[in-house]
Structures are given as C-alpha cells and as structure tokens.
Structure 1
Amino acid sequence: MAGGIRCPARRLSCRAGRREIRRRAFNRQDKQESKGGRGMSAQAQAGLFSLDDLSIDDAGTRPGFRLHRLELLNWGTFNKDVRTFRLDGENSLLTGDIGSGKSTVVDAITTLLLPANRIEYNKAAGAQKKERSLMSYVRGFHKSARSEIGDSSRPVALRGPGTYSVVLGVFHNAALDKTVTLAITLWATQEAGQPTRFYSIAEGDQSIKGDFADFGADIAKLKRRLAANGAKTFTTFDQYGAAFKRHFGISSAQAMDLFHRTVSMKQVENITHFVRTNMLEEDDVETRIKNLLHHFDDLKKAHDAVLRAKDQIRMLEPVRENAARHASLTVDYNNAHQQREQLSPWFTTRKLELSEAHLLELERAGAKLAEQQTALTEEVGRFNLALADLRDDIRNSGGGRIAAIEGELARLSIESSAQRGRYTSYSEAAKVLGLFEPEDQVVFDANAAALPGVKKHLAEDNARLQDQRTTLDRQRSEASEQVGEFKVELKSLLSRQNLLPGWLIALRERLCEGTGISISDLPFAGELLKVRDSEAAWEGAAERTLHGFALSLLVTGRHYAAVSDWVDSNNLRARLVYLKVPDGSSPRPAVAGTLAAKLSIKPGTPMREFLLDEVGRRFDHQCCETMEEFRRYPKALTINGQLKGGGRHEKDDRKALTDRSTYVLGWDNHDKIARLRSSLEQAECHARTAADGLGRIDGQLGNLGRQQQDIGTVTSVGSFAGLDWRTTVRTMESLAQEKAVLESSSDILRELTERETSTKARLDKATKKLGDLGERIGATKNSIQGITEQIADCHESLAETPLTSDAGLLAEVGRLAQLALESEVLTYKNTSKIESKVREKLQAALDALQLRASRSAEATIRFMTDFRNKYPSETTDLDASLEAAGEFNKILAQLAENDLPRFAERFKESLTQNTIHEIVGFNAFLDARKQDIVSRIGEINESLARIEYNTGRHIQLEPQSTSDPEVREFGTDLRACSEGSIGAQEQYSEQKFLQVEALVERFRGREGRTSLDERWTAKVTDVRNWFTFSASEKWTETGEEHEHFTDSGGKSGGQKEKLAYTILAAALAFQFGIAAGPGNQRSFRFVVIDEAFGRGSDESAKYGLELFKRLKLQLLIVTPLQKIHVIEPFVANVGFVANETGADSQLRNMSIQEYRAERDKRGR
C-alpha cells in the first residue's frame, strides 16, 4: 500500500510547475483567440482541461455543486435509524463486502437524481431486471421465504405498508456559497405496486432528523412544515427534476442520463451509440412534426374536397350522359312511333292512286277482249258444221268398226292410266308401310293379310305422341304466360323503385286517379321498410313474415274518407288491405333481438313514428338461432321461417325462402329487376324449348298421318284387277293392230279421216282460244270487281285514319318505303307487302329504341341512386327519377364550373404555401441540426486534442454519414417533397401531394403499423442517427493517424477502459457545463462510478482517476475491498458498509487517514 501513496512535497512541487504550464497555455490560447481562432475559446478550453491536478482552485474553493452528505431512512436494508454518508464535496470511496448494501446506497443517489422508471436498480451489481424496484427498497425486501402453499417463494419485508422512507442529499457550491438539499419521501399504501411519494428542494442544509421527523402519519403536516422552512415540494419528478437542474446549472437533457450510465459503465463497446446518446442533444422534432401534421390535415381536407368533387363529377357525368341519351332516344322513339302510325294512311293513299290507275287499264282491256270473243265464237261455229259433214261421209264409207275400235281404245287408255296410277300409289304406300310391290295376285293377298298389324302399331305410336304433345303444349302455354307476366312486371319495376307487384301498383294508380290523391301520399308499408344490411341472413324469414303487412296501403286521416269511399264503390278485381294512420303515434322501441329490431325505416318518411309503433307491436317476435330458444319464447321466429305466436305455429314453404322474386320490402329494386330479367330469360328459354319439342312431335305426327293415308291408299284397292295395267295394255295392242288392217283397205276413207283430223284440230284450237279468252274476260271482270272493292276499302280506311299534313313526316315515310323497295317498283299489289316490311323494320327499331331508352333510364336511376346513397346530404330534396335529371345536372354544373376549380385552387394554395413551406422549414431545421452536430464534434475534438491518450497521441471523433437505408431514403423523400415546389408558377400537383402524404402518414402512424412507424419516425428524424462515429488515435505533432476503430472490440481490457474514460471525460465536461470555463461557477460536478475502477486494471484506473481529477469532478467510487489500494490516493473520505445479519446495513464514515491508520493497526 505504501507504494500507492504520493509524497505531499512532490505533489506541491508538481502543482507549482503545472500552474506555470497552465499560465503559458492560457497566454497561447489568448493569442490564438485574438487572431480569430475557431471552436471553443482559449479560456473555455483551458478551464475544461487544465493541467493542474489539484481539486481546488487558487482561492482554495472547489468549483460547482458537490455532494456533501447523503442521509437514508428506511431504505432497503438500512432500517429504522438514519444512516449518513459524509462526502464533504471530496472524492470519496464507498466500499464493503459483497451484499453489504453498496448498490443500495448508489440506487438511493440515482433515485434522488433520476425518475424511478428510468432506473435499473442494482444494475452495476449485475442484478436481473426487476429484481429490485422502488417498492422493494421502501418495504425492505431482503430475502425470500416459501409461500404458504409451498410451491413458490415470496419476498420477506422489513417494513409493512404505512412506514415512511426518506432519501436526502445535501449539495454545496463553495464558489457560490450555496447549499441545496434534495429529498424524496416515500411510503407504501399496499403490499404491492408502486409506493406513493413526493419530492422536495430546499435552498439550505436540511436533515432527516431535523426536518423530516415527528409528523406522525400526516403527510400534509410534513409538507406544511417543509414549506414553512422554505422548501418546495413536488408531486411529479418532471417538475422536481426541472427545478434542481436550474439550481445546478444543468441545461442539457442528457446530463442526468449520462450520470446514470456512468454509474455502471466499464467500457465503450460502440462509439456511435455512446456519442449519440451521451454527447449530442436529442432534437425536439415532435412540435415540428405536429405542425406539419396540422398543416397536412388542412391540406388533406382541401385534397379530400377536390377528390370529393371529382368523385361527384365522376358519378354525375353518367347521370347526365344517360339522361341525355334517354331524352334523345325518347325523341327518336316518338318520331319512329309517328312514322309507324302514318304507315297505313301513306301506303293506303299510294295504293288508292295505283288502284284507280289500274282500274282504267282493266276497263280498256275488257272492251278489247269482248270484241275478240265475238269473232272467235263465229269461227268455232263454222268449224263445228264442217266437222259434222266430214263424219257423216266417213260413216258412209265403212268407218263404223274403226269408230268402235277407237272408242274401245279410248276407254282402255283411260282405264290403263288409272291402273298405272293406282299401282304407283299402292307401291309407294306399301313401301312406306313395309309391304311388298303388288306384282301379282299372291303378293297382293299377302299385303292384305299383314295390314291389320301395321294399323295397330301406327295407332299406338299416335297415342303416345299425342300425350307428349299435350304435355309440351301445356308447358309452352305456361312459359308463354310467365313471359307475358314477367314483361309486364319488368316494365312496371323499371318505372319505379319499390319491389311491390305490378298489379298492386296499378290498383293504387287507379285509386289515386279516381280520388285525385298523389301517389306519394299513399305509400305501401313495403316501400318504407327493409331488412338492415347487417341482418341479411334473416331477410328471407322477415320477407315471409311481413309479406302481408308490406302489401298494406297506409292512409292518413286526411285521405281516409276519400279512399274508403272509392274502394267501396269500385270493383277492385283484386284484394286490397289498407291501414288508417293516426295523426299522432307513440313510437314503440324495438327490443333487441326481435324481428322489429332487424328492420330499418326509409329516411324522411312522415309515417316513421306510426311504423315504429306498428312494427314494434306486431313483429316483436324473438329471432331464434336455435330451436331451444324458439320453444322458450311465446312469440318467436326461426331463420328458416317458422313462426310462432299466441300458441299458433306456422311455416309456409310453398315458395322458397330465398326466392327473391317474391320479396316486397325496400326502396331499391335493382336486384329484383336483375332477378326478374333472369327469370324472364329462363321462361323464354322454357317456351322456346317447349315450342321446339312441339315442332318435333308435330313432325312425327305428320309422318304418322301420312302413313295413315298410305294405309287408306292400300285399303282402297279392293282387288288385284284394279292394279293389273299390264293385261289392259296387251288388249289395247291387239285392237290397234285390228284398226290398222281396216284403215289400210280404203284410200277414200283415209282421206276423209285426214280431213276430219285436220278440221278437228283447227276446231280444238279455236275452242281453246275461245275458252282462254273467256277465262281472261272473267278474270278481268273479277279484277275490276276486286280493284273496285279495294278502292272502296282505301277510301274507308283513309276516312278512319287520314293522312297527315306533316310534309317532313310523309317524306321520311316515303324514304323508308323506298329503302324497303330496293330494286322493286311500288304497285297496287305490293303495297301491303312493302308496308309490312317497313312496319317490321320500324317495329324492330321501336323495340330497340324502347329497350335502349329503358336501359338508359335504368342506368340513370341507378347512377342517381348510387350518388344519393353516397352523398345523402347533397340530395336530401332529390329523388332518383328521370324527372330529377335537371337538378342532378345543376349539381354537376356547379361542381364542374365553380366548386372543383375553387377546391383545386384552395388545395394548391394549401400545398404550396403551407404544407410545402412547413416541409422546407423542417428540412432546413434538420440540415441545421446536422451542421450543429458536425460543429459539436469539432468542438469535442478540440477538447480531446488536449488530452494525451498515449504518449504523443490523442483521440479524435470522426463522423460519417450513415449507410442506414431507412435514414437515407427518408432524406431523399424529404427533399423530393420540397424540391421544385415553391414558386409563382407551381401548379396543382397530385404527385406532390402523394409524396407528402406518404411521408406524413408514416409520421402519423399507418393503421396496423403504428408502432413500426413510431419507431421509424423516432429514428429518421433524430439527426444523431444520420451519423455514425468512429475514433481515430492521431499523433499530436503531425496529425497522422496511428489507429482507427469504431468500437473497443479487439482491445485489451485496460485499453477498452482507457478509451471509455477518455470519451466519458469529454462527454461529462459538455453535459455538466464544465466547458464554459472558470467563469461558470454554477455547474454540477458529482459523478458516481460503481465498481468500474475495481474491475479494471491498475494502470487504466489511475489514468481515469487522473483524468477526472483534472476535470475537477467529485467522484464517488464504489468498489469492493480488494481494489482500495489503487483508489485510495485519489479519495479523501471512505464510507464502509457492513451487513452482518443480512437485514440491517450499517454505514461508517472515515477520512482516508483514519482508514489508513486503522488498516495499518489491523495489519500489525
């Protein structure tokens, strides 16, 4: 130990020499400053790192506030009596055996100077987190005991709730002759949790016995006493901490954090983290970010207004387009309809004109034909006389047998032709029926025997096909009827918004027309009720239960008399239920879980209160998820539609619960229209399928009918003789031979016969011409009669439907007729055909126009409904109807011409003049802070240059821009938000807004990523994170680098400790305000180092002690007994802690001389 004690004389001589060195240094610094030197002033640098190793100045006073006395009452194992640790502002040593209570004393000091939630108690001793707490010190937990149930342990306390603990520290500033007492008073009100506490500060010397005793259990009394003695009390650490920092001249928020870390710091593992945390101030960016968020909120509102206006324009433009299209199509439809109405009179007029012209032609042709008929009649008479004379001559010349043969040949020719015809028909029919061609009598008889079986088979096929046809015909009829009903219902639904059946709407229209009451004054209940969207699963059951009520007409008292009179005096041809709505109704609140609670009422209806009462009274059925619930309630409904009430149970499954075509609740029928269209398509498909089937059946029946005819053909031949044409032909050949022999025997007869033949041919020709002429005359007469009747019909038709005088309309009809004629010419015969052709085209055009107009109307109403649903406040007085198109167009015009330009200008102004300016300012602030950090490191480096780290070398901190991608990306994004943003020519920029929004939303915290964004914001807006730091050991004379390192890894334990002491010294100087120089008397000089010197090497410990001594810091060194020989030359007082029983720590105060004397005495 003797080797560790310095000679006082040597210390004094060293002091005198070093004073001279310091004087010369001051002179050099003064000269440099006068020449405009950069960084700290020479006076500040000399004051910070003076080479004088004395702990007092020339006047014999120690600078700054130093801890003179620490008092503990009921703190940890320091139980019952007050324990006092006297430091007297000097470097002091706190020592004792392991577990004696040294860390308890250290934790008492940190509790005085730091908020409890920032302290990791007993950290320097290696305790686990939460092993000790503020409550454990107040209660005095000192060991663990087995719990009553025996499977766990519990802490054992020295003190129960209600016992008070006090930690008191007296700090003195000799240079200012000021004393400040800090104290914290704590007590536990329960077994666990956090103790209650308050803090106090007094300008003067206080003690626990003198100022914190004899107050009983009355804390208020203690506070009054302290206030009477000039002390201020605080309920929160923030107020207390701010007050004692003002007293001690601590301006840095990081100073006390550094104080806390110094307690247990052994080495600097990471230079970047240490510099950021202990040597650079944390930036106050929260206010700036709040301002930015505030401006962005205004910008967002302006942007939302632009987007809202754009969205409204987007939604209203289809309304305008479809409404205009509907209006245009309606005009086209009306024009086409007028053209169709004029088709009949126009074509009738043209037919009349053409018929009258044709009548004149027929009359002229008839007169000519009459003259020709008279001449031909005379000529036929002359031919008949000549032919009679020739025949008399032939008979007289032997032509009797020839005439008989000719007669027989003529008869046989006719009979042969008949036989051939019957044979052909029979053969074809027999082939179809599966019989054989009748070549002889045997085959004929075989066919006759097989015919009954064929008849029976055909009868069975016919019966089967007739049954199938009857079924298909019924299916087609039903499908066609459905098609008609669906078309009528669809047309009705397209003209309104409710889901009620068309016949009911038609009945109301009749009623309103008969009474003069507006339709809107007589709503059906179904138009005003619907199932809530959130209760969609119950929609089918609700529709079935409320179906009858939904079809009830609601009649107010004002219209009751008129409605009841009209209903009574008219044949409704349907069933109508109407309810009288009283003038005043008391709404019945719907009970949760009932059917009534699952319904919503159309907003704005004046019958709301009546419906609330009626629905709440009539449909208070409990909606049950299970049958157990259903059986439990007197009125209940299941999701499958089973209804219960008054002991009566009902379930009507005649129609599917999910058949939405029968739904009647609500005021939006788009879904029902879609489903009805689908049903219409299905019905049309069924009708076509049935028609196709009928066509096939009719074809098969036709084949059967033809086979029946074939049976008749076969049956009609009674004998084979009726088919035997071959025998008849042979007979005719024999007679022809006989005639030839007779004719060749007489020349006179041959000549007469030739003349007869010639005259007969001429007579036949003239007779034929006369017959043809008669037919032509008859046809002409018929034509004249027909055309005359046609002309009369035209006159009659035009009398009923006269031709319009609208020349343009007639010209358009004429154009259509000309197009239909194509290459034809219009005549009185084809007017009807051309009219039908034009009418078909016009009707197709009308149907297409009606369909397009209907779709445009439907689209218009759908877009209106979508707009009203999304923007109800803008459409309170508007309904979704074609009549309201003008009002919707007014809204669109207002938006496009006024609102959107105004909103866009407001957005541009907010973007460029507020938000972007705020971002530019924020960016400038961060850049300035960046430069501040560079300057601060420069100042620290100037100070570090004066500390000899190794012989001839010193340490310099080197900042580098971080490579962290998040920080670098943030800088890029921040610049992108502000670059090219400000200027008179800046235009509305959605892209710029999106850039700003992306950044600001991360500041605000995105949904689902709030914690992540908070960490990101704290990271990238803390300019300290923009840098990484390393240390460079340089030669003082040349500035060349000797070694470069980013942390103390790879170095020996002593080297790590030496680097830690060097950087820590610079950090403490700045944070405690020591850098301000000798003129700064109000500074904090107290530092606690817990076991750091004890764990390091002797050489590094001496280096650190010498360095802190030069900084004129008061050290409280906490170390175990085995390291005292290294530390004792640097301390004046020793506090020895002992705890022999483990439950009662004692603290003994000694001067270093007393300690040495006692140690030497024990050594002897």
Structure 2
Amino acid sequence: MEHKIDINERELKIRREKIWDYELCAEVLSLETPQTEKKFNENLKLLPELKKELTKKENILFNSILELNVLNKDTKNELTELTEELESLSKRNTNIPSQNIRIRDEICEGINCSQRELTFAGELLQVLKSESHWEGAIEKLLHHFALCLLVPENLYSKVNTYAAKNNLKGRLVYLKTDKKPQLKNFRLQSNSLISKLEINRKHELSDWIESYVTDNFDYICTDDMQEFNHAAKAVTSAGLIKAKIRHEKDDRPQRSGTQSFVLSWDNIQKRRELSFRLDKLKTEIEKNTEKLNKYKIKQDEIKNKLIILENLFKLTIWDEIDVQKYAAALNASHEEKAKLLKDDKELNQLEERLKLLKEERQSKETELSTFTQEKGRLEQQLADINLKQERMQIQFNEHYSNKDNEEIETLVLNFEKYFKINKGFENLDILDTAKENFSSTLEKETEKSEQSLKNTERRLREKMSALTNAKDEIKIKFPSWSADVRDLQAEVTALPDFKAFYERLNHDDLPACLKKFKRKFNDSVKQDITDFKARLDGGTQQIIEGIGELNKSLKIIPYSKNPPTYIKLEHRFTNDIQIKEFQGLLLAAIPDSASVFNKEADSEFENFKKIKTLISYLKENDQRRKKILDVRQWFIFAAIEYYQNDNTQKQYYEDSSAHSVCKGLRKRCLR
C-alpha cells in the first residue's frame, strides 16, 4: 500500500508541475487552461496557426527594425555633415561648402598666400534681393562655376605645382584670371542673367568675373515658353535650363532649398536653413530611436511567445497534465490505507515501528555519506602527493641523472643560498607555496631578460628601418638608394645582410662616381636643355612677329564695304592643359642661376630628376609630343573687326568664328 501511495504521489507531483507550466504558457499566449481532454485537444489544434501568425509578426518587426536602423544611420551621417558645415559657416561669411574651403585653405598654406588672393567665384556673386524669385534657378545654373577657385596670374604656377604634387582628397576646379579683362560695351537686356546678379565690387577680380559671366553665361531668364523655345540659352524660374541643344532640370531633394546655395558673401540665410534642418534631423532621430525601442520590445515578446509555443508543442497527451485523475487515485489509496489501519491494532504498531526504522535508516545514510566524502578527499590528496612525487622525480632525473652526488649537493647549496631557503618545511602545503615562490621569481627574471632582448631587437629594427626608409634629402642626393636597399628587410635575422651592405659601401668609391656625374651634368646636360628651350622660345617669337607684319597688310585690305572695315589678328597663349603642363616641366628643368654659380650647392641631382621627368613626359605619348612641340599650338588666335574711319571695334571673333573670318580674308586676297 505504501509503495502504491509513493507512486501516486510522484505521478501527481509531476502533473502538478506540468499543469503549472502549462497555465503560465497559456496565459502568455491568451489560451484557456484546459480542464478536460476535449479542451486540451482544441488548444493543441490552435498551436500551428498561432505559430504561423507569430512568425509573420516577427518577420514584419525584423524588417521594420532593419529599415529604421538604415534610416537612422543615414540621418546621423547627414546630421554629422550638417554640424560640420554649420561650424565651418560660422567661421566665415560665404556659402561655399566646407570641403571646398578645406582644399582652398590647404593650398593657401602650401603656397603661402591669403584666402583673399584665392577666392571662389561664388564669393563674388549673389542674386539681387529684388530678383529672389530667380534665386533657386540661378543657383542651380551657376553652382559648378561658383565652386571654381579663381587663380591670379602671379599664383598660377604655384597652384599648378601644388595641385600636381599633392593629394587634395577632393575635387578642385580652378580658373586662371586676368586682372584686365576686355569688357564689352553693349546694353544689357532686362531679362539677362547678368542683370539679376550683384557683383562684389570691393574685390579686384570684380571686372574679370563680370566679363566671364557675360561671355559664358549669356542666358535669358524667362517663364515665357515661346521665348524659351526660340532662345539659344535660357532658364526658367522652375530650374529648366537650356544651352543650345542641351536641356536639364534637376529636382533632386538635395539640390533644392537654400541649404544647397553657394553664391553670396552673406551666409546668414543658409545658416538659418541648416539650423532648422539640423533640429528636424535630431527630432527624426529621437522619434526613430523611440520607435525602434518599441519594436525591439515587441520583438522580444514575440520571441518569448515562440519559445513558449515550442514547449506546448511537446505536450501532446492529456494524461501528462491530468491532475484530477492522479489526485483521485492518491485519495483512494489513502482511504484504503486508513480503512486497513482502523480495523487492525497490530498493523498500527507495525506502522509506528516502520516510521522509526525509516528515521534511523536516514540518519545512518547521512553518516555514511559524510565518511565517504572524507575518504574520497583523503584518497585524492594522497593521489596528488604521489603524482607530484613522480613529476619531481622525472624532473630530477632529466637535469641531474648525469651528475654525481657532490655536484648535486653544490647545486642545492647554491639554490638555497640564492633563495634564502629555510629547510624547516612542516608539511606539503608549505613546500608547494615555496615552489610557487621560486617559480614566480624565476619567471619574473626570465620576463625581464626577454624584455631586455626585445628592446635591443626593437632598437636594431629601428636603425634598420631608418636605413631602408631613408629621408627624402638622402633619396634626392642618392637617386638609386631605394633600389640598393630594396632587398634588405628590417628584421633581426637580416643582420648579416646589413653587414654585407655596409662592407660594400665602404668598398665602393662613391665620391669619385659623384664627382664624375657632376662634371658630366655641368659640362653638357645643362647647356643642352637650355638650348632646347631657346629654340622653342625662338619659334614663338617668330609667330608673334609674323602676326605683327600680317596685321600691317590686313589694315589696308577691306573686310566689308558698307560700312568699310578691316581685320586685325590677335594672339593669346593657350590654356591647353597638356601644353601648360609641358611648359611647367620645361621651366622647372632649366637650372636656375643660384645652382650655376653656387658650386657648393648640391643641386645637380635635383635638376637631373626634373630633366628626367621632362624626357619621360615627352616619351609617354607620341601624339601629345607632336602637339606640344609644335609652337603654333601654343597660341589661340582671334580676329577683331574695326571700322576704318575711326578704328573703333565692331566685332570680336574667336574659335570657329575667327577661323571663318580668316578663310574669307584668304579668298579676298586670292581675288
């Protein structure tokens, strides 16, 4: 009977625990706790659909969180850029972006000039307040030109050199300017682009920029589509731009609003717009973060529900949680036992005796467990002692098996003296502690020695690295230095290679080679490059003189009869990048007077490198070489038509127009 009661109690306990877990899970999933097998099976059928619904919600939340994270990242990046831009704008009055300002500042510092000497076109122009209706369209039209750096002639070569030799880490467009531009006298149309602009007259380039905008941005501003269709160049207030056959309209969000404006020497409005945008972005980030946190909480809740759902899937049989069945069985067993005890006194006595024996048995089992644990501890301690003894014996045999007793005794005495050992070890724990102290001391001394060795190796590598990565002045003085040390590695194992390199340097007669190189360079190379430039200069002078002689003849040849006019040819030096680059390299390759007369100046290597660069440039491209060595390509020719009666200018022709005029003159001469 007791065995039967024990079984029923265990089974009931298991089912109470399971029904308790089931109730908790059902409450989370909004399910009713079943009291019958029918309700249990109904819940079981609901689980797959519930899992499908929860999985769908989890996927939706995952995608929403992913989208919000990407949106927040983009918004934070824009916030950082706007903050940097506002900080930059607060330090100046113009609307030029901070990236362009940074490049301009680096160039100014590199060539030692002021920011006023290198100004952006946008810093000298702004839309008239009375024409604010056209501001957005004009900003889009002049955006790229406004970001052009205006370089005066006296700084042109320095800027070229700096830009060619340095990584600007950004885009730079610059224009070479002339302080005395040719301003054309004509009446401005009321709807012309230039009539809607204000020019900063306090700057010395104000006339130049007026001339440039008039020549290159001769647009009309009109919303009359019939006028727009007939015009060669036009722009509407909505930003539709027409340049002959090319049409453009850019309505991208980042190109709209005052925050993208770059014109004007007053940035108050742009700073106000950027500050408003900055506050808006901060609000967006806060809202997105708050929404993101809510989504994550919901996501955790759904994940928890899915885990609970998986636990419920494991309960497939009603008997596993049928508490009532096993509670009834236990009650029946207790009633049966009580009935038996009530009718039999001897059985009651045996029941009391059984209870005492159980208590005594429990006490003996507790004592046995305590003794067993102590026995196990002592056995483990003995095993540890034996293992340590075996290890020590092995170590002793490894180090001292080939030594006699006298040597061993001497070593032991030295060891005791070094560590000041007290021989009175009372137990094994003290011996272990002493051993740990010995090991710690030896490890510290070993680490100290290893650190000293590492420091020595580090200093050696630094010296080696200084040799393989020599300073620029050494590489300039010895051009082949990098090639000579290419195979040397800055490692301790390469020390023999460095010794061999040192011995080779001592063996080679470098001073004699240096003297021979200088003599050859000074005797012939300098003169050859100077003569080469002189021949090119002679060719350009012949062209200039030829144009002068030709103009004398053209003055007496009529170009048009009514009214009578004549043509005068004009030449300007070209701004062709390849030709300018070649001229810069040629000029740099000509030895200056200081290097010629200062015999102690070690400039031959530097001059030789410049000449070598020039020769390599000429060899790179045959078509380019033919072009840049033809001095006729160094000029841009134009034709000016004058009235013969008062020599005033009638028309200016350049590019294809000048070419047509010259063909017409040729026909007249042939007649």
TM-score by length of 1: 0.29
Q: For the pair shown, which has the larger CA radius of gyration, 1 or 2?
A: 1
